[in-house]
Amino acid sequence: MDFSIHHTASPLTEAFADLRSDCLVVGVYPNGEFTPSAAALDHLSGGLLTRLTQRGDLEMTAGKTLLIPSVSGLVKAERVLLVCVGAAEELKPKRWKSLFSESMNALQQRGIQRVDFTLLEAAPQGMSKDQALRHAVLALDEASYRFLDFKSDKTSGLPSVQHAAFLAPADDENTLEQALQQAQAIASGIELTKNLANTPGNVCTPSFLAETAQQLAAQSSLLDVEILERETMQQLGMGSLLSVAQGSDQPPKFIILNYRNAADDTATVVLVGKGVTFDSGGISLKPGEKMDEMKYDMGGAAAVLGIFKAVAAMRLPINLVGLIPSVENMPSGGALKPGDIVTSMSGQTIEVLNTDAEGRLILCDALTYAERFNPAAVIDMATLTGAVIIALARAPSGLLGNNAELLQSILQAGETSGDRAWELPLWDDYQDLLKSNFADMANIGGREGGTITAAAFLSRFTKAYPWAHLDIAGTAWNSGDKKGATGRPVPLVMEWLMTRVNN
């Protein structure tokens, strides 16, 4: 789907009289008030919108639509889609986005290909025009996303809408063009994240993720990628990471992305993504039901790659490093066993009481590796615990860390982007749960507070820098009939990075 900004001359009545469009989307408030575009159309069509809304043809709740198949009078647009935008004071990111997805549903049903949205004029109060546009683009892109790589028929069920233009007054010109470019960059990152997480484990292996990273680097002069192989990881002492990989025939990869587009003395941000391309549980084998979904256990890695794609596409002026420890967690004769003790890159020893708590075993070595960048902040994202879905359901990502200011800024970015996180405590109280009789720590803390004990484990490797952990087990994936990747937390982290640049 492609997007453009269409600058309208004022008055709108003149602009609309000339506008040739498959469909013009205009907003109406639930109290029957018109947006400027609706008012202009009403005027041109001799009061058609007034008659329809007074007759009750448009249900006056947010997101309800009414397609007007033809508008006579001076209007050249083939069709008009009326959308109830809801009460202005209740327009939060989520509802704002839903106006666009609901519009898409209506447009899709009629096979409409080119559409002009006037809804920016109804953008929520307190939301910048840039932000409103970004939400709109992401919502439309989301609604038109299909994953057909593994279907023989790649044509049926395709979205009809090919092109969306946003009508905006001519004076907004410069900023909106840039905002559109940035929104499309984020959308392309989200698409990559979804595609990777949806790709099955027999294709999306650690090597596949490494190749994907290399392709990104080939497309941007600002991005370098280095892949560490098993031998190098051995030399570095990444015994914890390698212990997870040893049960699989797939070689582990440690992917390093280095994006530099700021002065050398600008502090680096490091993003770490869990890249378990399939999590069978290992010898602590998972039950069979829904085990297929464990192909998305590289959702953190996919998000990091998506973020780098977006950052490079918009040439964000930052220094950013991405670290992706990538393995497959399988049972075999050579696999890691419960009771095994491994030595992490930090030197700390770990008694593996459950081989299904493998995410933390690969992340801890990546978090130690991150120290060498002397980072201003490290954010890891990982489908780490089922417990986060029990605690928070699938609405927010779980957020834990060691620096209140960093956590606060991430929570704020979540609110702004609509891709929210929620903080869980990480007090010292929890550290005792990781006690081991034989090693420095165990890799599990028992049934209680599973998300917290996982983060408590990671916190033992992140003392050298401000650190935040996003547990995305619930948010990176939709279960049920909408089964598939969501692209989260790309919107959240992009918002956080962009805010950093602007402050």
Q: Which residues are catalytic?
A: 286, 360
- Work out how close the CB of 303 gets to ligand BES at its nearest, in angstroms, rounded to a whole number: 14
Q: Where are any strands of DSSP class E within 118-238?
A: 163-169, 223-228
Peptide bond preceding 338 in cis form (omega within 30 of 0)? no
d(CA 369, CA 347): 12
Q: Among 102, 142, 279, 365, which residue interacts with Mn ion (rule: CB under 5 A)?
A: 279
423-462 residues near ligand BES, rule: CB under 6 A: 444, 450
For residue 356, state whether it binds Mn ion (rule: CB under 5 A): yes
Q: Which is nearer to ligand BES, 293 or 415 (CB)?
A: 293
Among 42, 121, 358, 365, binds ligand BES (CB under 6 A): 358
Query: Minimum distance between the CB of residue 494 and ligand BES, rounded to whole angstroms?
Result: 23
Find the binder of ligand BES among 243, 383, 462, 475 (CB under 6 A). Answer: 383
Closest distance of CB 480 from Zn ion, Å: 20
Q: Judged by CB under 5 A, does residue 297 bind Zn ion?
A: yes
487 CB neighbour count, 10 Å cutoff? 28
Binding to Zn ion (CB under 5 A) within 345-404 occurs at 359
Distance CA 35, CA 305 (A): 40
Stretch that binds ligand BES, among 170-178, 383-391, 395-403, 494-502 (CB under 6 A): 383-391
Q: In whole angstroms, what is the distance from residue 387 CA to residue 449 CA?
A: 7
3-state secondary structure of 477: strand
- Between strands 79-84 and 65-68, the pairing is antiparallel
Q: How far apart are CA 115 and CA 424, in angstroms?
A: 43
| Least separation in angstroms between CB 378 and ligand BES | 20
Query: Do residues 194 and 145 touch, judged by C-beta distance below 8 A?
Result: yes
**Interface region with Zn ion, contact rule CB under 5 A, candidates 77-85, 116-124, 269-277, 452-460:** 269-277
Q: Which of 73, 88, 83, 81 is nearest to 13 (CA)?
A: 73
Residue 16, φ and ψ in degrees, nearest 5: -70, -35
The DSSP output letter for 486 is -
Instruction: Tell which one of 102, 141, 142, 356 touches ligand BES (CB under 6 A).
Output: 356
**In the bound complex, what is the minimum distance in angstroms from residue 356's beta carbon to Mn ion?**
4
**Backbone angle region of 273, left / alpha / beta, with phi > 0 → left and psi within -120 to 50 → alpha:** beta
Residues that bind Zn ion (CB under 5 A): 276, 279, 297, 359
Residues that bind ligand BES (CB under 6 A): 279, 297, 354, 356-359, 383-387, 444, 450, 473
Residues that bind Mn ion (CB under 5 A): 279, 356, 358
